[in-house]
Amino acid sequence: QQQVKQSPQSLIVQKGGISIINCAYENTAFDYFPWYQQFPGKGPALLIAIRPDVSEKKEGRFTISFNKSAKQFSLHIMDSQPGDSATYFCAANTGFQKLVFGTGTRLLVSP
Amino acid sequence: DAGITQSPRHKVTETGTPVTLRCHQTENHRYMYWYRQDPGHGLRLIHYSYGVKDTDKGEVSDGYSVSRSKTEDFLLTLESATSSQTSVYFCAISESKAAYTEAFFGQGTRLTVV
């Protein structure tokens, strides 16, 4: 049973476009929601994260939107670049930095 | 990259054999974790450690054991490897248990059980 549901499974976006990845969760005890970026052959690396008492967090071209009442959060990548092509995972902290992950979204940004 | 070294990076083993994966960190972080990554499942927590000799089970701990005798080393052992344990294994470290602390991941170990 996936505690964090992520969609879409894959995404193709043109260079300069907006990439949007969505996640939903059920457990209201989750207290931290990071997004990880993973390139082939590498480990996941933290991209951006948000606390549940904040509705939006922006870092450069990356924005997390958080809807606590709907138990949903999403990652927006503005002005997507070919270098953004990677797999993205949403996650939630269950305590002690034990993370539950979504199933991942493979993003391809076409030139 | 955070100072995390996983070894070996690749391993092929036969069903029924024991396998030990090693995670070594140079960051002196207290918390260490083992995850496995499989298509369609994302990453799932196997075991974690909150200090030397202090470990606990994660979501998918059956068939795995861990040990941590030193702050810097966290070992994952498959007592008798099965084909269902073919996966990519990631070690992660965290400085604090506080909610907003970043977890850093190693480069992974690709294990194939034949």
Q: What is the dihedral of CA A17, A86, A76, A82, to 10 degrees?
A: -20
Pairing mode, if any, of strands A99-101 and A86-93? antiparallel
Backbone angles phi, psi at B84, to 5 degrees: -70, -10
Query: What average pLDDT score do residues B8-15 get?
Result: 98
Q: Has residue B100 got a pLDDT over 80? A: no
pLDDT exceeding 70 applies to what percent of chain B?
97
Q: Has residue B46 got a pLDDT over 90? A: yes
DSSP state letter for A82 = G
| Size of chain B in residues | 114
Instruction: Please report residues of A whose CB lies closer than 8 A to that of B42.
Output: 2, 4, 6, 89, 101-104
Q: Does B85 touch chain A (CB under 8 A)?
A: no
The per-residue pLDDT string of chain A (111 residues; one tens digit each, 9 = 90 and over) reads: 669 999 999 999 999 999 999 999 999 999 899 999 999 999 999 999 999 999 999 999 999 999 999 999 999 999 999 999 999 999 999 888 899 999 999 999 999
Which pLDDT does position A94 carry in this prediction?
87
Which pLDDT does position A1 carry in this prediction?
61
pLDDT tens digits for range B64-96: 999 999 999 999 999 999 999 999 999 999 988
Which pLDDT does position B101 carry in this prediction?
81
Which pLDDT does position B96 carry in this prediction?
80
Which pLDDT does position A95 carry in this prediction?
83
Q: Has residue B1 got a pLDDT over 70? A: no
CA distance B38 to chain A (A): 9
Which pLDDT does position B98 carry in this prediction?
75
CB within 8 Å: A97 and B101 = yes
Query: What average pLDDT score do residues B31-36 get?
Result: 97
CA distance A32 to chain B (A): 6
Listed residue (B70, B68, B83, B72) closest to B19, CA to CA: B83
> Lowest-confidence range among A85-89, B38-42, B45-49?
B38-42
Listed residue (A102, A76, A77) closest to A91, CA to CA: A102
Which pLDDT does position B85 carry in this prediction?
98
Residues 12-71 of B with CB under 8 A from A: 31, 33, 35, 40-45, 48, 50, 58-59
Q: How many CB atoms lie within 10 A of CB A30?
A: 20
Instruction: Please report residues of B whose CB lies closer than 8 A to that of A45.
Output: 105
CA distance B101 to chain A (A): 7
**Minimal Cβ distance to B31: which of A32, A45, A96:** A96
Pairing mode, if any, of strands B54-57 and A86-93? unpaired
Question: What is the secondary structure of chain B as a DSSP string?
Answer: --SEEEE-SEEEE-TT--EEEEEEESS--SEEEEEEEETTTEEEEEEEEEETTEEEE-TT-TTEEEEEEETTEEEEEESS--GGG-EEEEEEEES-SSTTPPEEE---EEEEE-
